[in-house]
Amino acid sequence: MALVEYELRGHVAVLTLNRPEKRNALNDAMLEELEQAAKRASSEAKAAIICGHGKHFCAGLDLEEQSGKSVMQGIEGSRMWHRVFSYIQRGKIPYFSALHGAVIGGGLELASVSHIRIAETNTFFAMPEGQRGIFVGGGGSVNLTRLIGVSRMSDLMLTGRVYNAAEAERAGIVNYLVDTDNLMDKAMELAERAAENAPLSNYAIINGLQRIHDSGYDEGLFFESMIASLTQSTPEATERMRAFVEKRAARIEAPTKAPTNSPTGGGNDER
């Protein structure tokens, strides 16, 4: 039985964690299959979704495998997590996490390296490493802290705080909240939309934004100028811009429902 199932739906690869009897807890074998699935997606898809079978997305690290490991074995295991997650985070295609049930520990670290996170309203999030006597080892101290800040990360780890889906959205973990029956539909809708973008633009977005954010002010602006020049000089970008100028491209319209803090309604102005 595959620990990570793989399916290609059009231009979107769907990677499904398949260890529901363990709440999709991550072990070394599962990570190896996740890495192979991500490499396959990189070669044949334009976007990817990570989801989980059963009642939960992922309950974190399989602690049964960790007992008895030496310090060096622990370091090597952590570095394997870093390698696999980095391939997802800084690869060729954007990743969308479809989250439900428990998103805990290593599961939250996995979600944090996705580029967009969609969650059902019954999803809950935790980082209980402090209570387990351990520390994050899958990049959470960098990637999740980048999303929510040091203060919130410290709160999760020190106190065992559990976020519900609405709290996770406010904290910056979740991009989209959906009803229980709409999770995969929404994830597929967003992934297909991203798959329609120019591949070089997607690559620049998922690799450039993070590096620019981690750079100094002047360096960031320089990187931005270089990336902007490279992307707009391609034949595909030229055709896409021409289609917009000639009004052959789809218009950008205001949302049908205005935000609650907006004094005005929607509209149909072209941008």
Q: For residue 69, give its domain range.
A: 4-195
Say if residue 151 is in the same domain as residue 237: no
Tens digit of each residue's pLDDT (9 = 90 or more) over 108-156: 999 999 999 999 999 999 999 989 988 999 999 999 999 999 999 999 9
CATH number for the domain including 228?
Answer: 1.10.12.10
Tens digit of each residue's pLDDT (9 = 90 or more) over 6-48: 999 999 999 999 999 999 999 999 999 999 999 999 999 999 9
Task: Let me know if residue 108 belongs to a domain.
Answer: yes
CB contact at 8 A, 187 and 98: yes
Task: Let me know if residue 186 belongs to a domain.
Answer: yes
Say if residue 224 is in the same domain as residue 125: no
pTM of the model: 0.90
Beta bridge partners of 12: 9, 47
Say if residue 171 is in the same domain as residue 42: yes
Say if residue 155 is in the same domain as residue 222: no
Nearest to 191 by CA among 117, 99, 101: 117
- Active centre residues (catalytic): 109, 129
CATH number for the domain including 29?
Answer: 3.90.226.10
Element of type H or E holding 43: helix 28-44
Task: Let me know if residue 137 belongs to a domain.
Answer: yes
Task: Let me know if residue 173 belongs to a domain.
Answer: yes
